[in-house]
Structure 1
Amino acid sequence: MDRINYQHLYYFWMVAKQGSVTAACEILHLAQPTVSGQLAVFEQAVGAKLLRREGRKLVLTDTGRAVFHYAEEIFALGREMAHMLKGRTTERGVRLNIGVSDAMPKLIAYRLMAPVLKMSEPAQIHCVEDKTERLLTEIGLHSIDMMLSDVPATPAAGTRIFNHFLGESVVAVFAAPTLAARYRDDFPRCLNGAPFLLPTTNTALRRSLDQWFDSQQISPVIQAEVEDSALLKTFGAAGAGLFFSPYAVSSEIQRQYGTQMMGLAEGVFERFYAITAQRRLKHPLVAAILENAQQGLFDLLDKPAAAD
């Protein structure tokens, strides 16, 4: 297509947002045959199906999701321009679409994104959490600018996907106070037979922990396997079992969840990566996150707090 028909793009955008032609027509104040016809013309111009029917709803195809993402940006910029022309100031600033892997510790993710929130220029973060595989698809479709993950993308994810190593942290054992008091003596041998909350077997951390248990001759009682790191800590705070988390954010974990650190799992590390597509490498907010991590963020976080 040589030139985009923005009216057709707008009709597509409204249908995608509303989930049906009928709902979009009510907002557009147009007849259903008009919108359906223009949508078909737009799909023909694009050269691909953008929507498919599932039951009574229309859902986006992979190409449709990519086009919808660009439409969101285009019409958001249009609204911003309209506000500017009316003499209004905008607080939108630079937008960063970021994905966070569900296995990624959320406190680490926040620490990595914090510099963006403190920038002098206004910035807006749109953050989604999902499985690594789905987020990698979103990067390939340019729906997100970067993702934070505890594992690097493999070559199978695409040749235009890039890994940026951010840092690592040794892992520590945490527990609610009652459990910590019961299993504190003679660490880590005291953990044999203790109730544990562990990440699921498809995560990098779980594989490292299984090896650590074997090396220490510890047989844990697995109370639950939880993929989401924040939910796992919530279980741990309730006393359901001991759990592992990066030492880099130990003070926040103890303060936020009311837990106690029992000791370090020596030799077990969590590593963290930013993953981007080639065309997003120059995004200023991505650059700010990478620069902050490369300036020794994890070295600073891993230093034990000074005694009072």
Structure 2
Amino acid sequence: MNTAGKIGLFSAALATTFTAAYTLGAATEPLTDRTGNAQHASHTETSAAPTTGDLPGGLQVSQDGYTLDVQTPRLTAGQEAPLRFAIKDDNGKAVTDYTRAHDEELHLIVASRELNTFRHLHPTRAADGTWSTPVNLLAAGDYRVFADFTPAKKDATALTLGTDLAVAGAYQPRALPAQQTTSEVDGYTVSLDGNLAAGKMSNLTLNVTKYGKPVTDLEPYLGAYGHLVALRAGDLAYLHVHPEGEPGDGATKPGPAVSFMATAPTNGTYRLFLDFKHQGTVRTAAFTVPTSATAGQDNGTHTDHSQGH
């Protein structure tokens, strides 16, 4: 075969190889990221790809046509400053109409990555849809901001969007607090009964005492005698935890026990934060707990260490 013929056959084979490689690459395109990182590259989702609805709350900055737009991406440790943000729709317009839940239009949670610091805030919304609240975070490092809300739109569901927040200053790494099911704050002791189970609903009951005596006159806070937030260590997946009963229903007592129903999406370690109100002051009790194989398995009780709230 002459040289020209050989070159022609080689070119044809090479073209066939590239065509096959392109076809194989298209067929094996990676599925949607399941690690909780926000996705910026647009792509056509196939029926085989997982949907965003499979992800726990707080792992995405955008979902169902809404985006959490934090306009204060950086704060300085130990300095109080306003944290500003907006919830924007697909057209980039700030949302101004919400359905109230637990006495508020929107709940804002700020937590440090290692889950030592926790803030449950209720910002003020301006007429243009911009939210703001003063915040003072004492420790430098990486934080996560969660906005928990329900748009006032037909068939809209509750959403929890999350994004990162940097706090500048002298950074001192801190470990996740040790596992414990007892927490002490301002003379109050809160004990956790029940176990967090992966993939199924379980009951968590928190009992509040003060200097060893049961607290039987808890005050309503956010439409209940307590508000519980659960965050998964590692990626800070946000769990919706629902209180059992409500003040004034004729059955729910104002302490010492406050009960919740919760489902952990996966096995792992979780940080639980209970806000409760007594004598006009809201306090936060914190717990570090692993998921258990069964809802009835004992996690053990450990002495609580000092927490930053």
TM-score bracket for this pair, using the shorter chain length: under 0.3
Larger strand proportion of the pair: 2
> What is the TM-score with the length of structure 1 in the denominator?
0.24
> What is the TM-score with the length of structure 2 in the denominator?
0.24
Larger helix proportion of the pair: 1
